[in-house]
Amino acid sequence: MSKELLIETRGAIEIVTLNRPEKLNTMSASLIAALDAYFRGLQERLDIRVIVLRGAGRAFCAGLDLTPGSWPSDPGEGGIQAGWKTQRAIATVMQLMRQCPQPIIALGQGAACGGGFSLLLSSDVRIAASSLKMNAAYIKIGLGGCDMGSSYFLPRLVGASVAAEYILTGKFMHADKALQCGLVSEVVAEDALLEKGLELAEEMLATSPMGLRLTKDALNRNIDAPSFEAALAIEDRQQVLLAQTEDFGEAKRAFAEKRAPVYKDR
């Protein structure tokens, strides 16, 4: 794994840290490659059940690293081709975050701009420090405000009007506004971010392993469900499948015996 991405394993929880503090954790080609490899690999690592995502230093992620050499291109490669490669590399990370079976708890402080904003939006839960400020920065540099999933996630998370206000202007949304409109679950002191994230992760670990995975799957699918009936069909499928697991039987026994269940992911 790249030194730009630190991984700390604490039992079934992994703390994933963007580690370019001197660059405000901006996205370089090597950081994006490391994120791609990490989130892609989670499909096969079901012993890891919850991810806590954070940034080192005073910012979560200030967007794309525009320093020359941060995104090397092949000799003779056209500008459009090189731009497309960069665009797809970053967008693929957002897709992998949604596809991985583990819930992702993002901890945000300082700047979360452009692609950094999208990393937060692609996570399942967001906890903020009061210093957090986020924006769809792309429109500020002559591009469109809709990028890296912002036009998909933000309206679904905060509603069309608030999303349009921030995407059409590129202005910053601060932590208090994000809490007010439900984009973040809680605002805490910066030095309490990790503790809060781990507390929530531990609560998630109290669920059955397959139940947690299928719940993330159902939430993702039902955000785009074409009808109430379609959403119910996904929920029905999930519950019937989980009712056949050994862990469901263990949960019933534990409830009757007034003890914590011991899950085996079977």
- Chain mean pLDDT for the chain: 95
Residue 201 Ramachandran class (φ > 0 left, ψ -120 to 50 alpha, else beta):
alpha
8-39 pLDDT, tens digit each: 999 999 999 999 999 999 999 999 999 999 99
126-159 pLDDT, tens digit each: 999 999 999 999 898 888 888 889 999 999 999 9
Give the pLDDT score at 138. Answer: 86
pTM above 0.85, yes or no: yes
Tokens encoding 199: 């507390």
Give the pLDDT score at 125. Answer: 98
pLDDT at 2 over 90: no
228-238 pLDDT, tens digit each: 999 999 999 99
- Residue 108 in contact with residue 184, Cβ under 8 Å? yes
| Among 60-64, 78-82, 89-93, the least confident range | 78-82
164-191 pLDDT, tens digit each: 999 999 999 999 999 999 999 999 999 9
Give the pLDDT score at 1. Answer: 61
Q: From the CA atom positions of the chain, what is the Rg in Å?
A: 19
Give the pLDDT score at 165. Answer: 97
Give percent of the chain with pLDDT exceeding 90: 86
Which backbone phi and psi does 134 adopt, to 5 degrees? -125, 145
- 5-204: CATH topology: 2-enoyl-CoA Hydratase; Chain A, domain 1 (3.90.226)
- Residue 109 in contact with residue 55, Cβ under 8 Å? yes
The residues facing 7 across adjacent strands are 16
